[in-house]
Structures are given as C-alpha cells and as structure tokens.
C-alpha cells in the first residue's frame, strides 16, 4: 500500500543538530495499492480505500490508543553530502531505536527508512481475502524542505 500522512510536524534545529517529528496516526490517506514496488492505480476502489484505512487506524496503528507517532533524534552525524540521524521512534506505543541516512535532493532533505512492523507490536495487514498483503517490512519515505 502507498499511504500519506496528512497531519504532521517536523522540527529541524537551525544548525541541523537535532530533529523532532510528530505524525498524527489518525490522519493518514490510502493512495493506492503497490505491486512489485510500483504504484498499482485502479486496483482499489474508494470503498476499498475507506475500509483499509479504517482497519489500519483501528487494527494496525491503534490510533485511538496511540494517536501520535513520534521521532526524536539522539545524534546527527554529517558524512560528506549526507547526514545520519539516529534516535527513538515511538509507534503503536512502543519505542525503538532507528537510524536514517538523509540526503540532499534539490531544495529538500530526503530519506527512506525500512521499519519492521513486528518490532512495534504490529501484525502485518491483510485485506480482500488475503489478496492484498502488507509485508512485515514497510518503507517509509520522508521529504522535508531545507528552509
């Protein structure tokens, strides 16, 4: 599945020494299904998306009990044109250490992080009689304007 968080804040220190982010777990949109790493538009109806979103909010992210997802950095290391940010991610009420390599792309800072859902007490999602499955590893992409 390809989803988007619609309500979030990311605060980066002016000297780039720290990052703090908050994402609202109940403000997520389902955009499309994915097949073999590519967008698979047309697979999901609006009704499918609504049902999936409800299941994700209730059964996967437990957004009523855990309405926010947070990240707070513990270190930021510059390595040439990239930065490695390490810190604590709290998702589904469970906190784990994560690291991400951040790179510059034009006017943005960009990263892709792979999370293991079971590490956060999340059972990978299945829908449509098992025809739609989310793997245990989920790629999260973040793009933040530099200014």
pLDDT tens string 6-18? 999 999 898 889 9
pLDDT digits (tens, 9 = 90+) for 95-123: 999 999 999 999 999 999 999 999 999 98
Q: What is the CATH number of domain 2-145?
A: 2.40.128.110
> Can you give the pLDDT at residue 56?
85
* The pLDDT of residue 132 is above 70: no
Q: What is the mean pLDDT of residues 15-39?
A: 91
Q: In angstroms, how far apart are the furthest CA atoms of the chain?
A: 50
Q: Which sequence spans correspond to the domains of the chain?
A: 2-145
> Can you give the pLDDT at residue 127?
66
3-class secondary structure, 92: coil
Which has more pLDDT, 49 or 16?
A: 49
pLDDT digits (tens, 9 = 90+) for 66-80: 999 999 999 999 998
d(CA 31, CA 133) in angstroms, rounded, equals: 15
134-95-69-126 Cα dihedral, nearest 10 degrees:
20
Supply the pTM of this predicted model: 0.86
């Amino acid at each position: 599945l390809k989803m988007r968080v619609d309500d979030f804040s990311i605060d980066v220190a002016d000297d780039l020494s720290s990052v703090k982010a908050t994402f609202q777990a109940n403000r997520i949109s389902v955009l499309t299904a994915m097949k073999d790493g590519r967008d698979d538009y047309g697979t999901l109806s609006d009704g499918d998306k609504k049902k999936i979103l409800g299941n994700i909010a209730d059964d996967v992210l437990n957004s009523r009990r855990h309405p926010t997802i947070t990240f707070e950095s513990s270190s930021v290391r510059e390595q040439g044109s990239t930065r490695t940010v390490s810190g604590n991610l709290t998702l589904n009420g469970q906190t784990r250490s994560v690291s991400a390599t951040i790179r510059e792309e034009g006017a943005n800072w960009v990263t892709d992080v792979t999370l293991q859902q079971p590490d956060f007490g999340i059972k990978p999602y299945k829908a449509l009689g098992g025809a739609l499955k989310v793997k245990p590893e989920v790629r999260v992409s973040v793009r933040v304007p530099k200014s």
